[in-house]
Amino acid sequence: AQSVAQPEDQVNVAEGNPLTVKCTYSVSGNPYLFWYVQYPNRGLQFLLKYITGDNLVKGSYGFEAEFNKSQTSFHLKKPSALVSDSALYFCAVRDTGGSTLGRLYFGRGTQLTVWP
């Protein structure tokens, strides 16, 4: 079965500093990996995905993620954090075929706080 782990419940970083939100995964087969962000009282917004190709994936709002197959990781990064980046971040993996194709498996989420 697919699974995702986000080892940090909370990440705190100063504005202007680089940020990293960690994610590791376990899949049977090739992974389709995603990052979503959730602002208070809102739904999930798609940030970026890895399907195939370059291990460094660029997404919305200046975020990027690095896929590392040997470490089964897909960490979310941003070179310079903004206060407005403060939100709840979810890593997810999707099945690549079969009857469970449309299902996402989510991590528990990481609350990112960027202070001024």
Minimum distance from residue 28 beta carbon to other proteins (Å): 16
The residue range among 9-17, 55-63, 76-84, 106-114 that interacts with other proteins, by the rule CB under 8 A, is 106-114
- Determine, following the binding rule CB under 8 A, whether residue 80 of this chain makes contact with other proteins: no
**Longest C-alpha distance within the chain, in Å?**
46
Residue window 26-65: x/- pattern of binding to other proteins, with contact defined by CB under 8 A: ------x-x-x----xxxxxx--x-x--------------
Write the secondary structure of 10-75 as one string of H (helix), E (strand) and C (coil).
EEEEECCCCEEECCEEECCCCCEEEEEEECCCCCEEEEEEECCCCCEEECHHHCEEEEECCCCEEE
**Among residues 6, 29, 1, which one has the least CA distance to residue 91?**
6
Q: Which stretch binds other proteins (CB under 8 A): 16-24, 59-67, 74-82, 90-98?
A: 90-98
Write out the residues near other proteins by the rule CB under 8 A.
32, 34, 36, 41-46, 49, 51, 90, 94, 96-97, 99-106, 108-109
